[in-house]
Chains A and B, each alone.
Chain A
Amino acid sequence: MTMVSVPKSVSSIGLGEAREIWGYMTRSKSFTIAFAFLVLMVIAAILAPYIAPYDPVEQNVPRLLKTPSFQNLMGTDQFGRDVFSRVLYGARASLSVGFASIAIAATIGILLGMIGAYRGGLADTAVMRFMDIMFAFPSVVLAIAIMAALGPGLLNVILVVVFISIPQFARMARSTIITEKEKPYVVAIRGTGASTLRIIFQHLLPNSMAPTIVQSTIMMAWAILTESALSFLGVGIRPPTPSWGWMLNDGRAYLITGQWWLILFPGLAITLTVLALNFVGDILRDAFDPRVRRRGKIL
Chain B
Amino acid sequence: MGFASYLLRRLLLLIPVVLGATIVVFAVVHVIPGDPAWSALGFWAGKTQVEEWRKLMRLDEPIHMQYVHWLGDLLRGDLGKSFFTYRPVAEELARRAPITAELSIVALAIGMVVGIPAGMISAVRRDSAYDKMSRFVAVAGFSVPEYFLGMMLILVFAVFLRVLPPGGFATLQESPADNLQFLILPALALGLPIAAVYSRFTRSGMLEILDQDYIRTARAKGLTERLVIYRHALKNALIPIVTIIGMNIGYLMSGAVLIETIFGWPGMGAYLYSGILSRDYPIIQGTVLVIAIVFVLSNLGVDLAYAFLDPRIRFGRE
Contact = CB atoms under 8 A, between A and B. Distances in A.
23 contacts: A3-B247, A30-B136, A133-B23, A136-B295, A145-B25, A148-B284, A149-B28, A149-B29, A149-B32, A151-B34, A228-B145, A232-B147, A234-B276, A255-B159, A256-B154, A256-B159, A260-B155, A263-B148, A271-B140, A271-B144, A275-B139, A275-B143, A279-B139
B250 A139 contact: yes
A120 B2 CA distance: 29
Interface stretch (B170-178, B256-264, B308-316): B256-264
Nearest to A282: B139
Given A132-B16, A267-B148, A274-B145, 11 more contacts: A3-B247, A138-B254, A138-B292, A144-B272, A146-B28, A148-B279, A228-B145, A229-B145, A256-B166, A258-B159, A297-B127
Interface in B226-280: 247, 249-251, 253-254, 257-258, 261-262, 272-273, 275-277, 279
A251 to B, nearest CB: 7
A256 B21 CA distance: 40
B45 interface: no
Contact of A263 (B142, B151, B160): B151
Q: Which 7 A-B pairs have the closest CB atoms?
A: A140-B254, A133-B20, A138-B250, A267-B148, A275-B143, A274-B143, A148-B276
A239 B214 CA distance: 60
Contacts of A137: 21, 24, 288, 291-292, 295
A144 B257 contact: yes
B291 A255 contact: no
Interface string B109-153: 000000000000000000100001001100110111101100110
Given A263-B152, A267-B151, A233 B258 contact: yes
A267 B152 CA distance: 9
B63 interface: no
Interface in B272-318: 272-273, 275-277, 279, 281, 284, 288, 291-292, 295-296
Contact of B148 (A234, A248, A256): A248
Nearest to A145: B288
Contacts of B147: 229, 232, 248
Interface residues of B, number: 55
Given A133-B24, A299-B135, A139 B151 contact: no
B17 interface: yes
B18 interface: yes
B50 to A, nearest CB: 19
Contacts of A275: 139-140, 143-144
A279 B253 CA distance: 26
Given A137-B288, A137-B295, A145 B28 contact: yes
Contacts of A144: 254, 257, 272, 276
Contacts of B249: 138
Chain B at the A interface: mostly helix, strand, loop or mixed?
helix
A141 B253 contact: yes
B250 A1 contact: yes
B247 A145 contact: no
A136 B258 contact: no
A59 B250 CA distance: 40
Contacts of A279: 139
Nearest to A272: B143
Nearest to A257: B159
Contacts of B20: 129-130, 132-133, 136
A245 B28 CA distance: 23
A142 interface: yes
Contact of B139 (A133, A150, A228, A278): A278
Interface string A48-62: 000000000000000
A274 B209 CA distance: 30
Interface in A239-278: 248, 251-252, 255-256, 258, 260, 263-264, 267, 270-271, 274-275, 278
Contacts of A136: 17-18, 20-21, 292, 295-296
B145 A129 contact: no
Interface in B17-58: 17-18, 20-21, 23-25, 28-29, 32, 34
Nearest to B16: A129
B139 A232 contact: no
B21 to A, nearest CB: 4
B143 A278 contact: yes
Contacts of B21: 133, 136-137
A261 to B, nearest CB: 11
B33 to A, nearest CB: 9
A255 B166 contact: yes
Contacts of B291: 137-138, 141
